[in-house]
Amino acid sequence: MDILYLLIPIAIIFVACALWAFFWSVNSGQYDDLESPAHSILFDDDEELIPDDAKQAARDAKVKHDSQQDG
């Protein structure tokens, strides 16, 4: 029974720290935008890493594909 005198204050301190951490994270903007990081992976940001000859080959293939669909 004496252990409760130790465990209850420790539990109250732990809950208080958890609540403080939660409210700090909300106030600092950690939960403001949850969608953008998930969608940012879908955007191409490596355009400068693609070699010029590969870009040209991709454009030529697209033009050829488009002309075959039109005709």
DSSP 22-55: HHHHHHTTTTS-SSHHHHHTTS---GGGS-HHHH
Q: What is the mean pLDDT of residues 22-45?
A: 82
pLDDT per residue as tens digits for the range 37-49:
777 777 766 677 7
Predicted pLDDT at 41 = 75
Number of domains in the chain: 1
Range of 28's domain? 4-70
